Amino acid sequence: MDRKNFFLGIACLAAAMFIFAVSKPTAQPAGVPAAVVASAPVVVPTIAPVKTSSSSIHELAPSDAEKVVLENGVVRVTFSTRGGAIEQVELLHQPANLERKSNIIFNEGNGDAAMALGILNSTNNRVEPVYSEFRRVDLPASATPAVAFLGTLPDGTKVLRTYALSSADKEGSEPYSIRFSTKVTPTSAGQMPTRVWHSTGSWQHTQGDANHQFVSVLADNGEDLTHVNISVFKDSSGFFGLGAHKAEAEHAAGAVGQPFNWVSSGNQFFASIIHVDAKSRGNRSELVARPVAFSATDVGVQAFAFWEGTVGADTTILTEGDFFVGPKEYARVAALPDSQVSVLQFSKILGFISFGAICKLLLASLGGVHSLLTWTGAWSWGWAVVVLTVVIKLITWPLTAAQQRTAKKMQQFSGPMAAIREKYKNDSEKLNKEMMKLYQEHQINPFAGCLPIFIQIPVFFGLYTAFQTTVELRLHSFLWINDLAAPDTLFHVAGFWVNLLPILMGVTMWLSMRMTPTPSADDTQKTIMYMMAFLFPIICYSLPAALSLYMTLQNLLTMLQAWRSNRSPVEAVVVLPKKKKSS
């Protein structure tokens, strides 16, 4: 294989990854047929619009509402009689920052409650939340914390809402999941009940997601994943004009025939998912995503979702399901039904190359390794990254060894190869024929050097993608690293972050390249190699420290292997041509 073309190819891949790292996230929803996505206001033709009136039902002020707090040791949920909804959820095992003095609070700062009911206003054709007073009603004694609210919609329709927290101690129970039901009863027999929407609530962006890349709404109908990024609500000039669009006030999407299994709102590490039971979905569903202004500069996103449901014999509609509010831990969300693992939001390289399958395999492997290392204490996740790196290196060790042996063989024949290139530089066909003849005579496989790269590149991109949303690494320390899910910043110099691991990664990459045999390496190839050692640290500089830790250890192990290989001489095998038998 021509080493120059090989390194040029690697440089192109590195440049492509750099473009992906610095580019803005796409503003268009991915994987949704054009027929079911609309940017116009939500229209529900089969539902009789409700004429709302501010005087018909008094809207309860937040300060006047009664608060009901339930907890199960994992979450503390604050319910409100204002709409019978969820005001906020505190994740008791998820600290807000490294100081660990407070916890992550879902829906904090949002004027709309999570699980708030919405109805369609015929005047402006918009879904509007219902914040009338819902009184608390008694429930039978239960082993798990539960609460119920009874209220009335503006048209007099009665709504009974119940919530039950899952047990944190029961095996097979998901402690971050809240079981809910909404029963809508019309004012008179024979009348069609009013259709209601449910709010996902919203999350504020994490410190490591300054561009709000992972703040979005997702919905899954079993085949397509609707993705509404926060950039939809901002003006964009696109990339050289491509993808330019005006900001939308709200973004609507729907699914007919195959209604949404679930709708979620999330950020980099956490998600809230409304998963409706199959019997409550009906034949169609819709959602409308809207921006949430936390401050003048900080914006989130939430969705109001509607499921058609089935009208019962008593003309009531019952919507039942689970409301998950918690961390996007791979093992946890992978155990949820209907592919809720998609909330992990594995980004695509250059917008269309997916490494989702590799990401899931690597995260499952990382979790398995960590389960064996919990005895190491606070550094257990760091040691898990180290052990996973060693395991990956052991798997690729034979291929890398073959690459290094081939490189040493080719190095012995760098002179003849250079002579052949010079002799047949104007005849590419003859050049390739003579080069292959040289390879065959000395049993050299020029493609053996490519095999390790073909394995290592998907692994790198898989970790590059997965580590950006791996909440398991969040706030876990290792060596001098305070947070494996964030850059390992040691100090600041004139406002510039000094991150040690990316620097070590670049140095070790340069050293490993120096130690690896490079037959007929000219100045151009050497320049490309040094550019790679400079470019990769820049790409990883603002990414999670776990990725830089993996790359640095890989480089060190490659140096060890190159050192062992350089100590073992490799002789090329010369195959002499067979003599022809005389007649």
| pLDDT for residue 206 | 86
Q: Could you tell me which of 276, 323, 319, 294 has the C-alpha nearest to residue 114?
A: 323
Indicate whether 137 and 285 sit together in one domain.
yes
Domain count, the chain: 2
- Shared domain for 407 and 327, answered yes or no, is no
Q: Are residues 9 and 57 in the same domain?
A: no
Does 386 share its domain with 472? yes
Domain assignment of residue 199, yes or no? yes
Rounded Cα gap, residues 269 and 470, in angstroms: 7
Identify the CA nearest to 558 among candidates 526, 514, 521. Answer: 514
Higher pLDDT, 448 or 457: 457
Residue among 246, 278, 281, 275 at smallest CA distance from 263? 275
Report if residue 281 sits inside a domain. Answer: yes
Q: Can you give the pLDDT at residue 464?
A: 85
pLDDT over 50 at 50, yes or no: no
Q: How much is the pLDDT for 54?
A: 39
CATH of the domain at 142: 2.70.98.90
Mean pLDDT of 513-529: 62
Most confidently predicted of 197-201, 441-445, 451-455: 197-201
Same domain, 35 and 15: no
What pLDDT, in 10s, does the model give residues 83-130? 999 999 999 999 988 888 999 999 999 989 999 999 988 788 889 999
- Is the model's pLDDT at 250 over the cut of 80? yes
- Low-confidence winner among 54-63, 117-126, 367-376, 419-428 (lowest mean pLDDT): 54-63
Q: Is residue 359 part of a domain?
A: no
Q: Are residues 112 and 79 in the same domain?
A: yes
Same domain, 378 and 303: no
Compute the distance between CA of residue 172 and CA of residue 334 in angstroms, rounded to an integer.
13
The predicted model gives 436-445 an average pLDDT of 69
Residue 579 lies in a domain: no
The count of C-alpha atoms lying within 13 angstroms of the C-alpha of 239, restricted to the half-sphere facing its C-beta, is 10
Query: The pTM is what?
Result: 0.81
The reply to whether 386 and 302 lie within a common domain is no
Name the residue among 491, 482, 489 with its Cα closest to residue 541. Answer: 489
Q: What is the pLDDT of residue 301?
A: 93
Question: Of 343, 378, 405, which residue is a domain's last?
Answer: 343
pLDDT mean over 410-420 = 68
Q: Is 340 helix (H, G, I), strand (E, B) or coil?
A: helix
Per residue in 7-39, pLDDT (tens digit) is: 445 555 555 454 444 443 333 333 333 333 333
Which pLDDT band holds residue 372 (cuts at 50, 70, 90)? very high
Residue 350 falls inside a structural domain: no
**Bigger pLDDT: 569 vs 97:** 97
On the question of pLDDT at 3 being above 60, the answer is no
**What is the mean predicted confidence (pLDDT) over 310-326?**
89
For the segment 140-154, the average pLDDT, to the nearest whole number, is 87
Domain for residue 561, yes or no?
yes
Greater model confidence, 178 or 54: 178
Residue 385: the pLDDT is: 94
452-486 tens-digit pLDDT: 566 677 888 888 888 888 999 999 999 999 999 88
DSSP state letters, 486-553: S--EEEEETTEEEEHHHHHHHHHHHHHHHHS--TT--HHHHHHHHHHHHHHHHHHTTS-HHHHHHHHH
Of 100, 134, 103, nearest to 116 by C-alpha is 134
Expressed as residue numbers, the domain containing 554 is 3-19+368-567
Mean pLDDT of 398-417: 68
Task: Please determine, for residue 306, whether its predicted confidence score (pLDDT) is greater than 50.
Answer: yes
Q: Are residues 38 and 154 in the same domain?
A: yes
- Residue 422 resides in a domain: yes
Token pair for 60: 């309860």
Q: What is the mean pLDDT of residues 128-143?
A: 88
Q: At residue 124, what is the residue type?
A: N
Q: What is the pLDDT of residue 410?
A: 64
> In angstroms, how far is CA 489 from the centroid of its own chain?
23
Query: Is the same domain home to 334 and 305?
Result: yes
- Averaged pLDDT, 269-297: 91
Predicted local confidence at residue 217, as pLDDT: 93
The least confident of 36-50, 65-79, 105-119, 228-242 is 36-50
Claim to verify: residue 7 and residue 43 sit in the same structural domain: no
Distance of CA 402 to the CA centre of its chain: 35
Asked whether residue 102 is assigned to any structural domain, the reply reads yes
Whether residue 454 is found in the same domain as residue 319: no
More confident residue, 351 or 209: 209
Helix/strand/coil percentages in the chain, nearest 5: 35, 25, 40
**pLDDT digits 0-9 by tens, 162-191:** 999 988 788 778 999 999 999 999 887 777
Residue 140's pLDDT is 83
What b/e string do you get for 161-186 counting C-beta neighbours within 10 Å, with b at 16 or more? bbbbbbbbeeeeebbbbbbbbbbbbb
Residue 56 is predicted with a pLDDT of 44
**Region 284-302: what's the mean pLDDT?**
89
Q: Residue 340 class from Cβ within 10 Å (0-12 exposed, 13-18 middle, 19+ buried)?
A: buried
DSSP label of 311: B
The SS3 assignment for 317 reads strand
